[in-house]
Amino acid sequence: MTAPTSGEHGVEGISPAEISRRREAALGGHLGDEAAVRPFLADPSPRVRATALWALGRLDRAGDHEVATMLDDPEAMVRRRACEMAVRHPEVDLVPLLGDHEPTVVEAAAWALGERGAAENRTVAALAGVAGGHGDALCREAAVAALGAIGDDAGLPAILAAIEDKPAIRRRAVIALAPFEGDEVDIALQRALDDRDWQVRQAAEDLLDAGVGRRSPDALGNRE
């Protein structure tokens, strides 16, 4: 493939004009110039739109309307940025984004919901659905982490089920058990001490050392 001719394209196919607009939007955010930033929310380039939304957030001038509008953007990179921004906008509904066709958007939405903390039942149920049924492992992992951060008992079954998933997700599920208690949690942590992945075992041991769960004599014997 022939490299772009100097002057025709910028970095990785981005035109110099696009780079200039993106820089101008970012600069407006740094200089506190809201009026300079807002027009770029409607820029034809998704990179510029995402930068403009970030700039408004830096100015603390991004309202619920702007964030919600960007969640409907046709480009995934803009929707991802809007998900990240939505952490500070709890009235903006992120649950529909858990069903986005782009996995990176689902992952960002799950992360943002976890950062928000306490959540409604429908949010916990939607995250549990992603944790147990999404085809992308990173989405499942992000949903498990969010359920742990939220700490709602309704999300516990999905976290426990995730302990049977891939190693990275098992590790995340063990960590997500931290705010929970009860026999199911105790059993899960003790079983995780024998996991074939050392990081899962270490996570379980760390939680037990921190006082999460009860150590049965059998579990202690397996560690020796």
| C-alpha neighbours within 13 Å on the C-beta side of residue 106 | 24
pLDDT in tens, 10-69: 446 788 999 999 999 999 999 999 999 999 999 999 999 999 999 999 999 999 999 999
Single residue among 36, 63, 91 that ends a domain in this structure = 91
- Residues 161 and 66 reside in one and the same domain: no
**What is the share, in percent, of the chain residues with pLDDT greater than 90?**
85
Q: What is the pLDDT of residues 142-179, one digit of tens each?
A: 999 999 999 999 999 999 999 999 999 999 999 999 99
- Tell me, yes or no, whether 32 and 103 share the same domain: no
Using alpha carbons, select from 215, 146, 214, 216 the residue that is nearest to residue 181: 214
CATH of the domain at 209: 1.25.10.10
pLDDT of 187 strictly over 90: yes
Confidence at residue 5, expressed as pLDDT on a 0 to 100 scale: 35
**Which two tokens mark 131?**
């944790």
107 and 124, same domain (yes or no): yes
- Given a cut of 60, is residue 219 above it in pLDDT? no
Q: What is the pLDDT of residue 196?
A: 96
Q: Do 46 and 72 share a domain, yes or no?
A: yes
Q: For the chain, what is the mean pLDDT?
A: 90
Residue 96, pLDDT score? 97
Query: What mean pLDDT comes out for the span 198-208?
Result: 95
SS3 9: strand
Residues 6 or more apart whose CB falls under 8 angstroms from that of 157 comprise 128
83/45 same-domain check: yes
Query: 126 with 116, same domain?
Result: yes
Q: Name every residue whose Cβ is closer than 8 Å to that of residue 65 and which is 6 or more positions away in sequence.
A: none
Residue 213's pLDDT is 66
Query: What is the count of structural domains for the chain?
Result: 2
Structural domain span for residue 3: 1-91
Alpha carbon distance 221, 61 (integer Å): 57
Residue after which a domain boundary falls, among 91, 112, 133: 91
pLDDT the model gives residue 18: 93
Question: Do 57 and 134 reside in the same domain of the chain?
Answer: no
Same domain, 104 and 188: yes
Which of residues 66, 91, 116 is at a domain's end? 91
Both 73 and 174 in one domain: the answer is: no
Confidence (pTM): 0.86
The encoded tokens of residue 36 equal 């300079």
Q: What is the token pair recorded at 34? A: 């809201």
Query: Do 120 and 209 fall into the same domain?
Result: yes
What pLDDT was estimated at residue 119? 85
Looking at residue 10, its pLDDT comes to 40
Both 146 and 35 in a single domain?
A: no
CA distance 20 to 159: 46
181 and 74, same domain (yes or no): no
Query: Is residue 181 helix, strand or coil?
Result: coil
Query: Would you say residue 224 has pLDDT above 50?
Result: no
> What pLDDT band is residue 85 in, cutting at 50, 70 and 90?
very high
